[in-house]
Chains A and B, each alone.
Chain A
C-alpha cells in the first residue's frame, strides 16, 4: 500500500489501483466499526478512513500529499461500500419474500436512506459525465469527509477551485435530486 502511495506521486494510475485494497479493507471494517455507532450520530468518516489508513500504510513514509491521495481513494471506496449495501437492501425489499411481523420503525428510514444513497449515486454519475472533477469533489467531501484543503491536495487543484466546484456541484445535485429552490424573501 505504501509503495502504491509512493508511486502515486508520479503516476496517476497508481492512485486508481489504491482503491481496490482500500475498498476491501473498508468493507471488512464496515460492519465492525459502523455497527458500533449509535444511531443519529453525524458520521466521522474521517475516523473510519483514518483507521483504514493506519492499517494499510506505513505512516512514517508518507507525506501530506500521499495521505490526501489515500483519503480520496478511501472516499471512492466508501461510496462503493455504501452503494453496494444500498443495492442489496433494495433487492431484499423487492424480492426477499420475507414477511416482517410488523413493520418495525427502523426499517423504514433505512430503506429511505438506501434509496437516497442510490439516487445520489446516480446523480453523481450524471454529474461526472459533465464534470468529472466536480463529482470527485463531492465524493471526497461527502463520502470522505475531507476538508477543502485536503480535497484540493488530493485532486491537485487549488482550494479556490474546490470551493467553487463544491458550491456548484451541490447546487446542481440539489436540483437533480428534486430539491426546490426557494426565492429569497
Chain B
C-alpha cells in the first residue's frame, strides 16, 4: 500500500483476475465448462479460481438476504467509537496532569472510570482523582444530571463519607471528581486476604451505616455500595466512596446500552431497574457484611444471568453454617438485610446500627431481644416461598450490535410482588427455538415464525407464565441439558420442536417436556401446506393443545381460566390475534371473536377483558364515537374484574379505559401497575403505562415500561412507534428513526407511522429523504388534509428545508380552517413564528392526547418557557388529574 497509485495487477494474479471476470457472471452450468477450458494445464490456477468463486457465491447469497450487513458491508460506528474512546481513555496516551492536578499512581479502576492519586498544585494537597468517560460531559442531559448529583454529593459532610472537593471538566473534555485522598485500602483489597474478625467486620459495617444514615437523611441513595467503595483509611476510619455519581452515570450508561459493573451487590429491585430507595443500600450493606464475615459472597454464581437469578430467588447459605462463631443475632440481622422484599428489611440505617450496637452489648438490650425489636417479617424463616402473585419474568434487554446479553431487566415501576422458586402451582413454560431439520440451513423463517407466534399465543393464556424470546435466545448455542435450561430460565415446562420441509409443504413436530424427568407430557406431528393461512393457524393449534394439557395437569390458579372448551379458546385466540391489527376491520373482528367466545362461555374473564379492550381501541382510533362504545367497554371490564380479580388483562383494560374515558391519570397508573405486578410480561399494560407516563410528564419513568413492551412483543408496530416517539422526545433521533422505520415496515399502511419517520428525518436534517417518505404516505388510499393535516404540515416543512418555498406554501394552503388549531400552531412554531403559535394555542381546546407532545416535542422548544405555554401545560395536568391543579380544565 505504500505510495503506489492504483495500477494493473501483475503476473499470476493478472491471469486470475482476468479469468475471474470472465467467469463470475456466468450461470452455474456454463461455469464449470468454461473454467476447465481456460485453465487447461494449470490445475492450481483452476483450484484457486474455484475457491474464489465459491467464496464469492457464499457472499452473494448472504447479501441477498441481508444487504449491507455482510462481510465488509459497513463499518460499525458503535464499535469504532468505542475503540477510539477506549484507547484514548486507558493505556498509552494518559495525561500527566489534568488542570492543576498532577497525576500520580493509579489507585484502581472501577466500572466507570480510573482513579489516580494526584497532587493539587494550587492547594498543595493530595487528592484522589477519578476520571470519567468523556460522553458524560458531551451528552447534554447526562451532564446536567451528573452535575446536579455531584453537587448534592459534595454537600455531604460526614466523617464516614469521603469528602468531595471538586467536580469539573478538564480541558480535553474529561469530567473528573477530586476527592480527599486517604491512605489505606478498600475493603475489597482487604477481602483478598480472607474474612475479617467479627469485631472488625462489625466496626466497618457501623462506619458504613453512619455514612449511609447521613446520606439518606439528605435524601441521597448511594446505589453502589460494595467493598471497592468502602475505604479503611488509616487513622481516619471507614469512608464511603462514590456517592450519587453511580446513579447518574449508571442510568445514562444503561440508556446507551453499557452495563455498569458486576451485579453481585445489587438488590433484587435494582437488578430489575426499578426505582430504589435507602433499603436497597441496606441490602448491599448486608451483602458486604456477609462477605466480610464469611469470606465469600452470598451470591456467587458464574455469569451475570445466573447471578441475577440467584439474587432474586435463592437463599444464601446461612452464615453460621460457614462460620459458627458469628453470633446468632448478627447472622439474623444480615439475613434481614438480605430479604428479597424491601418491606421486610430494616427500614433505615439507624435501625441496623442500633441492632449492631445492641448485638455487642451497647445501648439497647443485648441478644435476641434486640432483633425482635424490629417489625416481624414473615413468620416462617427469612426466605419464604411464593406469597401472592406471580413471579416477575426475567427479561433480558438486548441492546446494540455488540450484543450485550445481560443488561438488566426492567421491572414493575414500583413495588413488585414477592418472589420464589418455580412451583407446580404456577405453570411456567419456556418455548425453545424450533430446530430446522433441513440440512445445512439456519432455522428457517418458518420455524422462527412459528416459534415467535407460539410465544405470543401462549403468553395470552392466563395463569401461564411464558419466558420471553430474548431469554431463550440468550441460551441458544449453549450446550446444556434440558434440566439446566429449565433451571436457568426458572420454568416448569419446556416446549420444543422441529420443522422440516416435505413435499412442498412443512412437517412440524412439537413436544411438551417435563425437564425434571425429561419425559414427554404431550407430542404431536403436523403436516401443513406452505400457505400463509395454514401456517398462521398452526401455532394457535399447538398453543391450544399445550394450554389444555397444562390445565389438566395443574390446578387452575384463578377462576378466570377454568378449563376451556376448545371452541371458546379458539374464538378467544382469534379475537386477540385480530386486535393486533389495529385496523378498523381487525378491531371489529376482534369484538366479534370475543363475543362468540362469551356466547359459549359467559364467565370467561379474559374474553370480557378483551372485549373491553377492543371497544376502547375502536374509540381510541376514531372508528367509533366514544359514547357509542365506552359504556359497554366499562361494563365488560367490570365483569372481567368481578370474575377474575387477579387477571392482569382485566386490569390493563381498565387502565386503558380510564385513560380514554375519565382521563384519570393516577387511577389509570394504578390499574396498569397492578396489571404488571400480576403479569410482568403483559406488553399491553407496559405500553399503555409507558405512554401514560409520557402524557403525565414523566418521560424518564416511561423508558422502562416501553422497552419491556418491545421486549415482549418486538413485532408490534404500535409499541415500536411509541418507543420511537419516546426516543424522539429524549433527543435520540437516530435511535428513534430505527424504531420508526421498523414500525413502518410492520405497518406500511399507517399514515401516522410514516409521519413520524418523516418528522425524524427532517429533525436529522435529511429533508430529501423525509420528502420521499411523506409523499409516499400522502398517496395512501384515503389520505386528505382534513383527515391528516399533520402530514401536510410535515411535507410542507420538508419542502421548505430544501428551498422549495412555493410548493410548501401550496401545501399549507390546502389545510383549511377545519384543521385543529394545535396543528396549525405546530406549523407556525416550526417556522419560527412563536407569537402566532402562542395565539393559536390560546384558542385551542385541551386535547389530553397531546399532553406528551406539548411537553416534549422539539417543535415547541422556542416557546416552551413562555408563561402562556406553561399555563397551558398546567391545564393539561388538570386534565389528567394531576399537579397542583389550580387551573380548572376549560
Contacts and interface: CB of A to CB of B under 8 A. Distances in A.
Contacts of B134: 31, 35
Contact of A92 (B55, B91, B257): B91
B533 interface: no
Given A42-B76, A43-B75, A101-B110, A15 B5 contact: yes
Contacts of B402: 39-40, 105-106, 109-110
A128 B259 CA distance: 40
A interface: dominant SS: helix
19 contacts: A35-B138, A37-B78, A38-B257, A38-B400, A39-B78, A39-B400, A40-B399, A40-B400, A44-B77, A89-B86, A91-B91, A101-B109, A102-B262, A106-B402, A132-B7, A133-B8, A142-B74, A184-B57, A184-B61
A135 B1 CA distance: 8
B21 interface: yes
A88 B734 CA distance: 30
Interface string A26-42: 00001110111111111
Interface string A1-28: 0000000000010011000000000000
Which of A36, A132, A164 has most B Cβ within 10 Å?
A132
A157 B6 contact: yes
Nearest to B260: A104
Contact of B20 (A102, A104, A164): A164
A154 to B, nearest CB: 9
Nearest to B8: A133
Interface in A130-167: 130-138, 141-143, 145, 155-157, 164, 167
B78 A91 contact: no
Nearest to B50: A181
Contacts, number: 233
Interface of A: 12, 15-16, 30-32, 34-45, 81-82, 85-86, 88-89, 91-92, 96, 98-102, 104-107, 109-110, 113-114, 117, 124-125, 128, 130-138, 141-143, 145, 155-157, 164, 167-168, 170-175, 179-185
B50 to A, nearest CB: 10
Interface residues of B, number: 78
B92 A91 contact: yes
A173 B52 contact: no
Interface in B45-62: 51-59, 61
The 9 closest A-B pairs by CB, nearest first: A92-B91, A39-B78, A40-B400, A133-B6, A43-B77, A181-B54, A40-B401, A171-B55, A109-B402
Given A89-B87, A167-B56, 6 more contacts: A41-B734, A92-B90, A131-B9, A142-B75, A168-B56, A170-B56
Given A92-B87, A181-B55, A113 B76 contact: yes
A44 B764 CA distance: 13
Given A40-B257, A155-B6, A174-B71, A179 B732 contact: no
Given A36-B138, A113-B76, A164-B24, A179 B93 contact: no
Contacts of B302: none
B132 to A, nearest CB: 13
Interface string B108-132: 1111001000000000000000000
Given A15-B5, A113-B82, A175-B55, A37 B77 contact: yes
A101 B226 CA distance: 12
B4 interface: yes
Nearest to A99: B109
B92 A164 contact: no
Which of B20, B68, B402 has most A Cβ within 10 Å?
B402
B259 A42 contact: no
Interface in B227-254: 228
A134 B16 CA distance: 13
Contacts of A15: 5
A104 B261 contact: yes
A106 B82 CA distance: 8
